[in-house]
Amino acid sequence: MFFPSRITRIERGALVLEIGPGTQPHPRANVFLELQYAHEEEFIRQTGGALGVKPRNNVVLYNGERFPFSNGAFDYVICSHVIEHVGNVEYFLEEMFRVARAGYLEYPTVLYEYLYNFNVHQNLLLMKSDALAYMPKGDVSLSEFVAIQRFFHYTLDLGYSQLVNALADKMFQGFEWTTPFTCHRATCIEELVPSTDDLVQWQSPPIGRIQRLRARAWSLVHSLIRRRFGT
């Protein structure tokens, strides 16, 4: 979760469900909903976890379809970096709205996927104008950039996350909801690109921070190329 401070509406005594907590459940969650995998290795691949460290108390396993809870069973639901993995986005949201009256949703945007394109992520998503737009990754040609994305995977392996952290507000989206919102399948990639309007807030003096970020990014790329290829 990149924006835990955005979770502000959990009331005292509320019953909280967390979907797909992986190895780092939210401290306020009471019940954990996990997808049941045939093999433990698949759980590790999907969540980046390690054997034996996923939460063991109050875990409910399900088959990826209907949530095994009654209507309105929870006061709040946390769903962080899960929806990009699911096969049916609209049905998943319907189930989330069915079992809880409020919640928090977080996921990577197309900017993150363009650089890293993790193959376990199935969807590109963006909330815009009070509606969630999504597009299955199979509808676009991100696979053409696999060689480039492999390089950026290597930068993460080395611990270089400065670019991700600096652009976190654009590479990830996270928000609370208190009423169900609409969802539709995007017809073009432009619907999924975050706005650059608020980037001006980083400029001090004008364009100064953008220039510094660009210089740091290129410096990082050149440094990694030298380390990897000895040039």
Whether the link from the prior residue into 55 is cis, omega within 30° of 0, is no
Residues linked to residue 135 through DSSP beta bridges, in sequence order: 124
Provide the pLDDT for residue 201.
Answer: 47
Residue 22 binned pLDDT confidence (cut-offs 50, 70, 90) = confident
Provide the pLDDT for residue 52.
Answer: 47
Burial 163-188 (b: 16+ CB within 10 A, else e): bbebbebbbbbbeebeeeeebeebee
Q: For the whole model, what pTM was predicted?
A: 0.82
Tens digit of each residue's pLDDT (9 = 90 or more) over 193-228: 998 876 654 444 444 555 566 666 666 666 665 666
Is residue 177 predicted with pLDDT exceeding 60? yes
Topology at the third CATH level for domain 4-147+172-194: Rossmann fold (3.40.50)
Q: Cβ(213)–Cβ(220) under 8 Å?
A: no
Between vectors from CA 123 to CA 117 and to CA 129, what angle results, nearest 5°? Answer: 115
Query: What's the rounded Cα separation, in Å, for the pair 123 and 134?
Result: 6
Tens digit of each residue's pLDDT (9 = 90 or more) over 49-107: 544 445 456 899 999 999 999 999 999 999 999 999 999 999 999 999 999 999 999 99
Provide the pLDDT for residue 56.
Answer: 55
Sign of the torsion angle spanned by Cα atoms 193, 114, 162, 83: positive
Domain extents for the chain?
Answer: 4-147+172-194
* Phi, then psi, of 49 in degrees rounded to 5: -85, -165
CA-wise closest residue to 152 among 116, 117, 109: 116
